[in-house]
A and B are shown apart, each in its own frame.
Chain A
Amino acid sequence: SQQGEEDPQALSIQEGENATMNCSYKTSINNLQWYRQNSGRGLVHLILIRSNEREKHSGRLRVTLDTSKKSSSLLITASRAADTASYFCATDAEGNNRLAFGKGNQVVVIP
Chain B
Amino acid sequence: DAGVTQSPTHLIKTRGQQVTLRCSPKSGHDTVSWYQQALGQGPQFIFQYYEEEERQRGNFPDRFSGHQFPNYSSELNVNALLLGDSALYLCASSVGRYYGGTFGSGTRLTVV
Total count of chain B residues near the partner, CB < 8 A: 28
Do A33 and B42 touch (CB < 8 A)? no
A62 to B11, CA, bound (A): 38
Do B106 and A42 touch (CB < 8 A)? yes
A2 to B42, CA, bound (A): 8
Within 8 A of B (CB), among A62-111: 88, 90, 92, 97-104
Do B45 and A100 touch (CB < 8 A)? yes
Contact of A48 among B4, B58, B100 (CB under 8 A): B100
A97 to B100, CA, bound (A): 10
Chain A residues closer than 8 Å to B48, beta-carbon distance = 98
A44 to B40, CA, bound (A): 17
Contact of A98 among B37, B41, B42, B99 (CB under 8 A): B99
If A2-B41, A4-B42 touch, whether A99 touches B90 (CB-CB below 8 Å) is no
A33 to B108, CA, bound (A): 24
Do A45 and B102 touch (CB < 8 A)? yes
Within 8 A of B (CB), among A12-37: 33, 35
Chain B residues closer than 8 Å to A59, beta-carbon distance = none
Contact of B42 among A41, A48, A102 (CB under 8 A): A102
Residue B81 lies at the interface, judged by CB distance under 8 Å to chain A: no
Contact of A42 among B39, B44, B103 (CB under 8 A): B103
Contact of A88 among B33, B42, B92, B108 (CB under 8 A): B42
If A43-B90, A99-B99 touch, whether A88 touches B43 (CB-CB below 8 Å) is yes
Q: What residues of chain B have their CB less than 8 Å away from a CB belonging to chain A? A: 4, 33, 35, 37, 39-45, 48, 56, 58-59, 88, 90, 92, 97, 99-106, 108
5 tightest A-B contacts by CB? Answer: A101-B42, A42-B105, A43-B103, A98-B45, A42-B103
14 pairs, CB–CB < 8 Å, chain A vs chain B: A1-B59, A2-B44, A33-B100, A40-B39, A41-B106, A43-B92, A88-B43, A90-B42, A97-B56, A98-B58, A100-B45, A101-B43, A103-B41, A104-B41
